[in-house]
Every structure is written in C-alpha cells, then in structure tokens.
C-alpha cells in the first residue's frame, strides 16, 4: 500500500490522471485499488468535506450564501449580536458559523470586521482622539545584508478607523510577466523591505510581509520593555496587539505578534507647536530592530496625539503649576485615571 501526496500551490484548474501497468511476472490478475482521495487546506470558499448550507427548499441542492455579518445555524442565516463578527471555525470553512466578540475597546458596524474608534473613552474612562495618527508609517534602524548593502524595514499601520493600509512590492521584469506573485498586501499592519537604489536615488521594495491580519487586543497599560521616564506623564500607554499568520512565508514562525505602544509625549515646546513631527519611534534596548526572534515585535511611538483630551465635565483633571522661569510658568493638566 502506498501513500502519494501532491501540493497544489496556485488557484488554477488541475487534472490528475492515474496510469497503471502490469509487471507481467505471473499469470495472476493484477488489481489496483484507490482507497481514499482527500483534499486538505482549501482556500476560503472551497471545501474539503461535506458541509451544511442554506437551501431555498428541500429540492434545491445548491448552497445559498448568508449576507455579511450573518452566520449559518440550522439552515437559517442569523445576524451576529452587537460587538461581534461572523467567523469561521476553521479558516477554510465555506461559511461563517460562529459569532466572535470584538477585541477590547473595538467596535463593529457591519458584523464583518472590528476596528478601533479614533475618538473614544478607552475602558470607559479617559477619552482620547487618535484621528491625527489614524494612519502612520515608521521605520527602524538601518540594516545590512551579508554583502554590506543597506536597507530599511518600513511599517505601514492603521491605528484606528476602518481604513486599511497597503504595502506594495516593486515588480521585477519576471514578476511582471507572471501574475502568481503577490505584489500587494492590504492589512491593518504590514512591512516593506526597502532598498535604496544608488543609481537614481530612488527606493525599491524588495519584499512585503503581512503583520496585521487580526487585531487581538487594545488596552491601557505599560510594557516592561518601555519603562516610563521621569519626564513622562503618569499615564498608561495605549497598546495595540496585532497578529498575522506567517506559516506560508520563509519565516520560521507560525505567526507574528506585534505590540504597538502609543505614549503621551509632547515632543516639543511651545515654540514649535506647528512642528510636522507627529511621533518618535523607540524600540527595546536589547532588540534595536523591534524583535529579537523575528516572531514577536515591540514598538513604542511617543506622540502628543496619544495624550488624553481634557474635559473637566467628563473625566476631570488635576492642574499642576511649575516654577516660574524667565517670566514663564509651566501649567500641566493631567486627567484622572
């Protein structure tokens, strides 16, 4: 008895033919039996087994799809409750059958995807307005290949709102002819490997990676990797946790987890209130690229737009008066937490 497997890597039509020949060793009748043909790891919309589906009547055998935000239960489409989204038990299931709750401090309007409202009171307490940094791009330290060529990792991030970000790869001549190569990623968080071109002073993107298939959690806390400085305000950071599957890439990790912390920091004084600098990037001291193992990433963005909005009628604040220096006095208002 023999087992034979064949990986199907591209979503195109494929046909299998089996050819058997006799060994002519003896006069007995040769017999070949195929005991089982199984298909695994099908794409969304396909199936590797019999599944339940919605039908219009008992005579109709074609499956009917539920509308977005609904799940299939007992041959009936049911809308998911508030703050939950329709989900599949397995990634390759043809239809959603369970309603999963949105992550902490996120909402959903359509029952399909959860997102962080740009203006909200996190944990129902302190209010923030993240609209100025709803979409950002940042890069870490310069890296070098074995041949000494320099490159950067650029991260595009959607912090709040329903808009995704895009990472696009610069196509080579061979990739332009063959459409099977993935040239673009739309996600909540993605990474581009950018390489400067010394000939024309331009930058090309050598590869792209998805880091934000799913937003796991949003909370107010402070990471041990980024201890507060004496000059920091006595406030918790906003920490967003992203997850992405990396089993299909060349990475040794089955998934990537990214912790993105937002810390209240005014960055500049009153003389530079119109500065275009929106944030400063900080990485752990032990891992200047943001990761030590290539699987878990940690980034801290210091920004004035991660500071709570002061509204005495809603959350209240304490006022601190600093000493007078050169005819000026610093006044700080810190919300109650």
Beta strands per DSSP E along the chain: 70-73, 76-79, 84-87, 98-101, 119-122, 126-129, 135-139, 143-144, 150-158, 165-168, 184-187, 189-197, 202-210, 214-221, 237-245, 255-264, 280-282, 296-303, 317-325, 328-335
Report yes or no on 253 lying in a domain: yes
Report yes or no on 94 lying in a domain: no
Q: How far apart are CA 79 and CA 103, in angstroms?
A: 19
Model confidence band, residue 271 (pLDDT cutoffs 50, 70, 90): very low
Instruction: Say if CB 107 and CB 114 are below 8 A apart.
Output: yes
Report yes or no on 178 lying in a domain: yes
Reading the block at residue 140, the tokens are 């870490």
Other C-beta atoms within 10 Å of 218: how many?
Answer: 24
First to last CA, the chain: 68
pLDDT digits over 103-154, tens only? Answer: 989 999 999 999 999 998 876 677 889 999 999 999 887 888 777 778 889 9
- Picking from 43-47, 73-77, 112-116, 160-164, which range would have the lowest pLDDT averaged per residue? 43-47
Average the pLDDT over 7-18 and give the result: 76
Model confidence band, residue 75 (pLDDT cutoffs 50, 70, 90): confident
Q: How large is the greatest C-alpha to C-alpha distance in the chain, in angstroms?
A: 112
- DSSP lists the bridge partners of residue 220 as 238
Reading the block at residue 143, the tokens are 């890296």
pLDDT of residue 122: 78
Model confidence band, residue 270 (pLDDT cutoffs 50, 70, 90): very low
Note down the domain range covering 290.
126-306
pLDDT of residue 74: 78
Report yes or no on 69 lying in a domain: no
- Burial status of residue 331 (CB atoms within 10 A of its CB: 0-12, 13-18, 19 or more): exposed
- Give how far Cα 122 sits from Cα of 105, 141, 183, 224, Å: 6, 32, 36, 21
Report yes or no on 115 lying in a domain: no
Looking at every residue in the chain, the average pLDDT score rounds to 80
Q: Give the angle subtended at the CA of 41 by the CAs of 37 and 42, to the nearest 5°.
A: 85
Nearest CA among 204, 104, 208, 206 for reference residue 156: 208
- Residue 235, pLDDT > 70, answer yes
Instruction: Say if CB 214 and CB 114 are below 8 A apart.
Output: no
Q: How far apart are CA 335 and CA 318, in angstroms?
A: 6
Host H or E run for residue 161: none
pLDDT of residue 142: 80
- pTM greater than 0.95: no
Nearest CA among 155, 161, 163 for reference residue 258: 155
- How many structural domains compose the chain? 1
Highest mean pLDDT among 168-172, 236-240, 312-316: 236-240
Question: 2 or 119, which is more confident?
Answer: 119
Instruction: Say if CB 264 and CB 304 are below 8 A apart.
Output: yes
Nearest CA among 116, 148, 86 for reference residue 215: 116
Q: How far apart are CA 116 and CA 103, in angstroms?
A: 9
Report yes or no on 153 lying in a domain: yes
Report yes or no on 275 lying in a domain: yes
Question: 99 or 9, which is more confident?
Answer: 99
Percent of the chain with pLDDT over 90: 33
CATH number for 201: 2.70.130
Report yes or no on 12 lying in a domain: no
- DSSP lists the bridge partners of residue 325 as 328
């Amino acid at each position: 008895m023999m087992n034979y497997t064949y990986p199907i890597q591209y979503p195109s039509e494929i046909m299998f033919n089996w050819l058997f020949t006799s060994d002519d060793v003896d006069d007995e009748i040769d017999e070949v039996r195929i005991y089982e043909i199984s298909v695994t790891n099908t794409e969304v919309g396909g199936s590797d087994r019999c599944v339940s589906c919605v039908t219009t009547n008992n005579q109709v055998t074609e499956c009917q799809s539920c509308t977005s935000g609904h799940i299939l239960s007992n041959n009936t489409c049911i809308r998911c409750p508030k703050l939950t989204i329709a989900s599949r038990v397995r990634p390759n299931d043809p239809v959603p059958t369970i309603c999963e709750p949105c992550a902490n401090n996120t909402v959903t309007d359509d029952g399909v995807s959860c997102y962080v409202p740009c203006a909200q009171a996190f944990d129902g307490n302190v209010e923030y307005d993240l609209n100025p940094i709803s979409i950002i791009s940042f890069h870490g330290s310069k890296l070098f290949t074995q041949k000494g060529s320099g490159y950067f990792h650029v991260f595009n991030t959607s912090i709040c709102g329903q808009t995704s970000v895009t990472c696009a790869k610069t196509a080579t001549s061979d990739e332009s002819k063959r459409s099977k190569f993935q040239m673009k990623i739309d996600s909540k968080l993605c990474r581009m490997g950018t390489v400067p071109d010394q000939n024309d002073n331009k930058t090309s993107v050598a590869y792209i990676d998805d880091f934000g298939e799913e937003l796991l959690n949003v909370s107010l806390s402070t990471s041990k990797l980024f201890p507060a400085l004496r000059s920091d305000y006595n406030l918790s950071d906003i920490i967003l946790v992203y997850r992405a599957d990396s089993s299909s890439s060349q990475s040794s990790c089955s998934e990537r987890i990214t912790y993105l912390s937002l810390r209240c920091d005014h960055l500049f004084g009153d003389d530079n209130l119109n500065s275009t600098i929106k944030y400063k990037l900080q990485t752990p001291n032990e891992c200047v690229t943001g990761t030590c193992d290539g699987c878990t990433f940690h980034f801290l963005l210091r920004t004035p737009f991660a500071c709570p909005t002061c509204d005495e009628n809603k959350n209240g604040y304490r006022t601190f008066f600093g000493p007078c220096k050169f005819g000026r006095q610093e006044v700080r208002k810190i919300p109650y937490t």
